[in-house]
Amino acid sequence: MRDVAIVSYAQTPYVASETKRNEVEMLMPVLSEAVDKSGIPRREIGFTCSGSTDYLAGQSFSFVAAVDAIGAWPPICESHVEMDGAWAFYEAWIKIQCGEADSALVFSFGRASMGDLPSVLTLQLDPYVLQPLHPDAISLAALQARALLDAGLGSEREWAEVAARCRRDAKDNPDALVKGDVDVEALLAEPNVVSPLREHTLPPVTDGAAAMVIAAGDVARKVCEKPVWVRGLDHRVDPHSPGLRDLTLAPSAKLAGEKAGAASKPLDLAELHTPFAPQEGILRRALALGDDVRINPSGGPLAANPMMVAGLARLGEAARQLWTGKGERALAHATQGPCLQQNLVCILEVA
Amino acid sequence: MSEEQKTVKAIDGPTRLEYRYSPGRASTRFLRGMEQKKILGQKCVGCGRVYVPPRGACARCGLPTEEEVEVQDTGTIVTFTIVRVPSQNIEIELPYCAASILLDGADIPFTALLRDVPVETVRLGMRVQGVWKPDAELGPSFDNIDHFTALDEPDVPFEKFQEHL
Ligand SMILES: [Zn+2]
């Protein structure tokens, strides 16, 4: 295996609705910042990979238009995944492992505010038996939350405490969208949106973009003072149909965590892609995270959940924590699909 | 096989999603110009290429196209195709010409409909001009130019536009 490290990261401030700039206009400053900070000249970056979905903008091939933001001349080696940017990161890592590139630019973007996100996400379900019933993303998460309550594996108070902690931690993150000190009792007094989920347990619809440069050992050491090394990376998938799963568990997250070597040494922090507050407990158990591991110090997806970006942002936020001396070993997690169906785990270290 | 056991070969899955589209800075300025029958391109801060319609970035440089440049509604055909087969949602009489047109002052061509010209006479380098909709029908839309038609001017030699295909 080749050593690969994150050498730079940039993201937009996350907003509820980006109406002034289109995707390309949103991406350009973020791409420039990530490339400039990396110290690798743009033309020398060996591979570029993006993650996004056309359903957010309702425009076919919008990911091709986004290539305008890169400046792909002379022609570059480029790829795209119809997934969160964390999976674009995975593809770029593979490309470097295969020796086909020594560095890569990874980015993702989304303006989910232009459509009705919970309905858009319904289209990721199987089109024959489940999608025609049109269960939206919030309703499916509510089924998962209900299963947790029934199994005694969570409580509404626990979820409110998670939300309050995330908003409090987000105060230190200039890019976060939902932040501040809130009273748990006040959160519990909110009405249900979809029982048993209240507003504070839901991800804010968020627009934004993020970009990252990763590089192989020698290149990373040359350009970066403190490379954030990828010590383990794995992603796994549970059955597509939520009806085939025990929704209180995330076996694919557990397996990905084991394969990535999460437990081989103590972790200082974990950035978990938990769009819904009840999912934090599921992942804590699946990844065997003890109370001494700080969860989502950036505020996490409850503070900003840019669709298709939030997974890549977990990697970026974990790297930022390590760059600023908040720890030496971090776990970054990304998810896709309904109810934590697909899970990616990455172990990052600065030592 | 009985009627009940027939294999299902297809199902209808009606889907409807609604969007509140916002075009961004560059396209907004372009569309506001179109309302006034002005074609506003944008120039790359790096290479100086003028994009019409602009999307905010130079695809070659990855840099913003910040300087606004008004271009003409006259231009040159840099490539074209003659459409002879019908397709859904297009109600134009066959055959017709879809032309890639480089407006005077622009560096990037776009595709538009050419009308009132016998298709067998269409050629590269042919000079054309936009035909605008009546003033009462103008809106923030590129459709304000209903179609293009031939201009009575000498053809432009290939060498003059070969960099703009
Ligand atoms: Zn340029």
Same domain, B111 and B44: no
Query: Mean pLDDT across chain A, nearest whole number?
Result: 97
Average pLDDT on A258-287 reads 98
Q: How far apart are the CA of B42 and the nearest CA of chain A, in angstroms?
A: 13
CB contact under 8 A, A20 and B64: no
Q: What are the pLDDT digits (tens) for B82-140?
A: 999 998 888 889 999 999 999 999 999 999 999 999 999 999 999 999 999 999 999 99
**Nearest alpha carbon to residue A235 among A350, A340, A124, A119:** A340
In a domain? residue B1: no
CB contact under 8 A, A25 and B62: no
**Nearest alpha carbon to residue A199 among A143, A277, A144:** A277
Q: What are the pLDDT digits (tens) for A31-80?
A: 999 999 999 999 999 999 999 999 998 888 888 889 999 999 999 999 99
Count of domains forming chain A = 1
In a domain? residue B108: yes
In a domain? residue A274: no
Percent of chain A scored above 90 by pLDDT?
96
Handedness of CA A216, A219, A223, A226 (dihedral sign): positive
In a domain? residue A104: yes
| Domain containing residue B41 | 22-71
Nearest CB neighbour to A28, from listed B20, B27, B64: B64
Among the candidates B47, B71, B95, a domain finishes at B71
Q: What are the pLDDT digits (tens) for A152-179?
A: 999 999 999 999 999 999 999 999 999 9
CATH of the domain at B87: 2.40.50
CA distance B146 to B129: 11
Nearest CB neighbour to A71, from listed B20, B23, B60: B60
Looking at residue A80, its pLDDT comes to 97
**Nearest alpha carbon to residue A97 among A192, A202, A230:** A230
DSSP B133-145: PPGGG--SSGGGE
Count of domains forming chain B = 2
Which residues on adjacent β-strands are paired with residue B132? Answer: B145
Residue in chain B lying closest to A19 (CA):
B22
CA distance A199 to A277: 10
Same domain, B57 and B106: no
B15 touches chain A (CB under 8 A): yes
In a domain? residue B141: yes
Structure tokens at A158: 């626990």
In a domain? residue B39: yes
| Domain containing residue A15 | 4-115+205-223
ipTM of the complex in this document: 0.87
Query: Mean pLDDT across chain B, nearest whole number?
Result: 93
Report CA A162 to chain centroid distance, whole Å.
Answer: 18
In a domain? residue B13: no
In a domain? residue A305: no
Q: What is the total residue count of chain A? A: 351
Report CA A256 to chain centroid distance, whole Å.
Answer: 15
Same domain, B79 and B147: yes
CATH of the domain at A82: 3.40.47.10
Q: What are the pLDDT digits (tens) for A130-158?
A: 999 999 999 999 999 999 999 999 999 99
Strand, coil or helix: A67: helix
